[in-house]
Structure 1
Amino acid sequence: MQDQENGAVDEAAGAEAAPQVKMNVLTQFVRDLSFENVLAQRGVGGEVTPDITINVNLDAKKRKPEHQFEVTINLKVESKNKADAATLFVLEMEYTGVFHVEGVPEDQIHPFLLIECPRMLFPFLRRIVHDVTRDGGFPALNMENIDFMQIYRQEIMRRQAETAPKNVS
Structure 2
Amino acid sequence: MSEQQQNNQGEQASQDPSFSLQRTYVKDLSLEMPNAPQIFLEQEGPSVEVSLNVGGQRLAETVYEATVTVTVTTRIQDKVLYLVEATQAGIFEAANIPAEQLDPLIGIVCPTMLYPYLRANVADAINRTSLPALHLAEVNFQSMYEQRIAELAQQQQGGNDDSGIILPPGATRQ
| 1:56 aligned partner, one-letter code | L
- RMSD between superposed Cα atoms in Å: 2.1
Q: CA deviation at 1:44?
A: 5.0
Unaligned runs of 5+ in 1: 1-15
The CA deviation at 1:123 is 1.0
Structure 1 runs of 4+ off > 6 angstroms? none
Using a 3 Å threshold, how does the CA distance of structure 1 residues 44 and 143 change in structure 2: closer, same or farther?
A: closer
Deviation at 1:85, TM superposition (A): 3.3
String of CA shifts for 1:55-112, please: whole Å, max 9, x gaps.
Answer: 1111111112x3111001111111122xx23221110112110001134311110011
Aligned residue in 1 for 2:19: 23
| CA–CA separation in structure 2 for the residues paired with 1:20 and 1:135 | 46
Q: Is the 8 A contact 2:65 2:90 kept in 1?
A: yes
Aligned length: 147
TM-score by length of 1: 0.78
Q: Does 1:61 align with 2:57?
A: yes
User: Which sections of structure 2, spanning at least 5 residues, go unmatched?
Assistant: 1-11, 161-174
- In structure 2, what is the equivalent of residue 158 of structure 1? 151
Residue identity in the other structure for 2:124: D
State the match for 1:7 in structure 2.
Answer: none
Identity score, percent = 25
1:22-101 matches, cutoff 5 A? 22-40=18-36, 42-43=38-39, 45-64=41-60, 66-81=61-76, 84-101=77-94
**Deviation digits for residues 23-45 of structure 1 (CA, Å, limit 9, x no counterpart):** 22111111111101134154451
Find the aligned partners of 1:51 and 1:33 in 2 and give their Cα distance.
21
| Larger of the two Rg values belongs to structure | 1
Counterpart-to-counterpart distance in 1, 2:118 and 2:141:
14
2:120 pairs with one of 127, 131, 136: 127
- Following superposition, the deviation at residue 118 of structure 1 comes to 0.8
How many Å separate the matches in 1 of 2:33 and 2:133? Answer: 13
**For the residues of structure 2 that align with 1:155 and 1:119, how far apart are their CA atoms?**
16
What one-letter code is carried by the residue in structure 1 that aligns with 2:83?
V
CA distance in 1: counterparts of 2:101 and 2:135, whole angstroms: 32
